[in-house]
Amino acid sequence: MKYLFNLERPQVSFLFHMSIFLLSKRKKNQILENIRLLSAGAKGVSVGKTEEGKTVIVSGAVPGDLVNVRVKKSKSNYFEGEAIEILEYLMIFKI
């Protein structure tokens, strides 16, 4: 009888690939706190910086706000996310 895989030898490649997959998964629902939004970007987003200097692209807030951000996408150079809490609003009134 011929098997599709060898039962005597562990599936090294499968275990290796699964460990790489599990180790490379990024944190889900990461929260960035106290992000000051500095400028406006395209398509209604605002741009801020973390304390480490990494760029954060945020939807749901305006430049000047201080916000907490839920990260939706994490890249090596920047984060993309949405404002979940506005800690300080931009106060500009024109009379």
pLDDT at position 77:
92
**Tens digits of per-residue pLDDT, 17-74?**
555 555 545 556 799 999 999 999 999 999 999 999 999 999 999 999 999 999 999 9
Contact 79, 69 (CB under 8 A): yes
With 70 as the cut, is the pLDDT of residue 11 above it? no
With 60 as the cut, is the pLDDT of residue 1 above it? no
pLDDT, average across residues 61-90: 93
pTM exceeds 0.95 for this model: no
Candidates 77, 90, 82; CA nearest to 49 is 77
Q: What is the rounded CA–CA span in Å between residue 78 and residue 27?
A: 15
